[in-house]
Structure 1
Amino acid sequence: MVAEEVERIAGETGFTGVVSVDRRGAVEFAKAYGYAHRGLEIPNTLDTRFGIASGTKGLTALTVMSLIADGVLELSTTARSVLGADLPLIDDAVTVEHLLGHRSGIGDYYDENTHGDISDYLLPAPHHELLDTEQYVAVLDGHPQEFIPGTDFKYNNGGYVVLALIAERTSGTPFHTLVRERVCVPAGMTSTEFLRADEPGPRTALGYVHIDGVCRTNVFHLPIRGTGDGGIYSTAPDFTRFWPALHEGAIVPPDQVELMTRPRSDYPEQDLRYGLGFWLPAGKNTVMLEGYDVGVSFRSTHNPESGLTYTVISNDAEGAWPIARRLSEILD
Structure 2
Amino acid sequence: MRFKSFAVALLLGFSTVAAARQASADVHAQQVFELWLAAYNSGERDALQTFLADYKVGQDAQRFLDIRQSLGTFKLVGVKSSTEDSAQLMLLSEMTDRGVLATLDLDPADRFDVTKLQLEGMDLPDEFKPQRMRLAQVLAAGEARLDAARAADTLSGALAVAKDGKLLMSWHGGAADREHAIGVDETTRFRLASLNKMFTAVAILQLQEAGKLSLDDKIALHLKNYPNQQIAEAVSIRQLLNHTSGLGDVFGEEFEKRSQSLRTLNDYWSLASATPLGSTPGSEDGYSNYGYILLGSIIEAVSGQSYYDYVDQHIYRVAGMSATGSEPESTAVPGRAVAYTKVDGKWAQETKTLPWRGTSAGGGYSTVGDMLKFAEALRAGRLISPTSLGLATAPQNNKGWYGYGFMVSGQGAQRQYGHEGGAPGANASLVVLPAQGYVVVGLSNVDPGAMENVVNFIVNRLPL
Deviation at 1:124, TM superposition (A): 5.0
Deviation at 1:91, TM superposition (A): 5.0
Asked whether the 8 Å contact 1:54–1:290 carries over to 2, the reply is yes
Asked whether the 8 Å contact 1:58–1:289 carries over to 2, the reply is yes
Residue from 423, 426, 430 that aligns with 1:296: 426
Secondary structure, in 3 states, of the residue corresponding to 2:301? helix
Asked whether the 8 Å contact 1:51–1:315 carries over to 2, the reply is yes
**In structure 1, distance between residues paired with 2:272 and 2:324:** 26
**In structure 2, distance between residues paired with 1:157 and 1:74:** 21
1:287 aligns with 2:287: no
One-letter code of the match for 1:301? V
Residue from 195, 198, 221 that aligns with 1:81: 221
Secondary structure, in 3 states, of the residue corresponding to 2:297? helix
**In structure 2, distance between residues paired with 1:9 and 1:87:** 49
**In structure 2, distance between residues paired with 1:293 and 1:53:** 6
Aligned to 1:248: 380
Secondary structure, in 3 states, of the residue corresponding to 2:185? coil
For structure 2, list consecutive stretches of 5 or more residues without a partner in the other structure: 1-136
Asked whether the 8 Å contact 2:160–2:441 carries over to 1, the reply is yes
Asked whether the 8 Å contact 1:87–1:140 carries over to 2, the reply is no
Q: Which moved more, 1:181-190 or 1:34-43?
A: 181-190
**In structure 1, distance between residues paired with 2:248 and 2:194:** 18
Q: Which moved more, 1:220-229 or 1:157-166?
A: 220-229
Aligned to 1:231: 363
The aligned runs of 1:136-155 (5 Å cut-off) are 136-155=268-287
Residue from 245, 252, 258 that aligns with 1:104: 245
**In structure 2, distance between residues paired with 1:289 and 1:200:** 27
Aligned to 1:23: 163
Aligned to 1:2: 138
**In structure 1, distance between residues paired with 2:458 and 2:332:** 30
**In structure 2, distance between residues paired with 1:39 and 1:239:** 27
**In structure 1, distance between residues paired with 2:145 and 2:332:** 29
- Higher RCO (CA-CA < 8 Å; seq separation 6+): 1
Asked whether the 8 Å contact 2:143–2:171 carries over to 1, the reply is no
Deviation at 1:220, TM superposition (A): 2.4
1:324 aligns with 2:458: no
Change (3 A) 1:189 1:220: same
Asked whether the 8 Å contact 2:284–2:398 carries over to 1, the reply is no
Aligned to 2:390: 258
Aligned to 1:118: none
Deviation at 1:266, TM superposition (A): 5.3
Deviation at 1:200, TM superposition (A): 4.2
The structure having more radius of gyration, on CA atoms, is: 2
Deviation at 1:105, TM superposition (A): 1.0
Asked whether the 8 Å contact 1:46–1:237 carries over to 2, the reply is yes
Deviation at 1:85, TM superposition (A): 4.4
Q: C-alpha offsets along residues 249-268 of structure 1, whole Å, 9 cap, x if unaligned?
A: 1011221111111212255x
Change (3 A) 1:293 1:192: same
Change (3 A) 1:36 1:78: same
Deviation at 1:185, TM superposition (A): 1.2
1:219 aligns with 2:351: yes
Asked whether the 8 Å contact 1:123–1:222 carries over to 2, the reply is no
Aligned to 2:172: 32
**In structure 2, distance between residues paired with 1:58 and 1:315:** 20
Q: Which moved more, 1:88-97 or 1:48-57?
A: 88-97
One-letter code of the match for 1:145? L
Secondary structure, in 3 states, of the residue corresponding to 2:461? helix
**In structure 2, distance between residues paired with 1:49 and 1:167:** 25
Deviation at 1:183, TM superposition (A): 1.1
For structure 1, list consecutive stretches of 5 or more residues without a partner in the other structure: 112-120
Change (3 A) 1:266 1:44: farther
Asked whether the 8 Å contact 1:109–1:143 carries over to 2, the reply is no
Asked whether the 8 Å contact 2:172–2:186 carries over to 1, the reply is yes
Aligned to 1:47: 187
Change (3 A) 1:208 1:220: same
Change (3 A) 1:124 1:140: farther
1:192 aligns with 2:192: no
Deviation at 1:108, TM superposition (A): 2.8
One-letter code of the match for 2:408? L
Aligned to 2:437: 307
Residue from 166, 172, 177 that aligns with 2:309: 177
Residue from 249, 260, 265 that aligns with 1:133: 265
Asked whether the 8 Å contact 1:20–1:31 carries over to 2, the reply is yes
Residue from 231, 239, 243 that aligns with 1:90: 231
Deviation at 1:212, TM superposition (A): 2.2
**In structure 2, distance between residues paired with 1:105 and 1:328:** 32
Aligned to 1:61: 201
Asked whether the 8 Å contact 2:283–2:398 carries over to 1, the reply is no
Aligned CA-pair RMSD:
1.8
Aligned to 2:117: none
TM superposition outliers: structure 1 runs of 4+ over 4 Å: none
- Paired residues in the alignment total 319
One-letter code of the match for 1:275? G
One-letter code of the match for 2:157? G
Q: Scaled by the length of structure 1, what TM-score is found? A: 0.90
One-letter code of the match for 2:194? S
Q: Scaled by the length of structure 2, what TM-score is found? A: 0.66
**In structure 2, distance between residues paired with 1:218 and 1:202:** 18
Asked whether the 8 Å contact 1:91–1:145 carries over to 2, the reply is no
**In structure 2, distance between residues paired with 1:327 and 1:292:** 19
1:166 aligns with 2:298: yes
**In structure 2, distance between residues paired with 1:110 and 1:87:** 19
**In structure 1, distance between residues paired with 2:426 and 2:254:** 15
One-letter code of the match for 1:321? E
One-letter code of the match for 1:328? V
Deviation at 1:169, TM superposition (A): 1.4
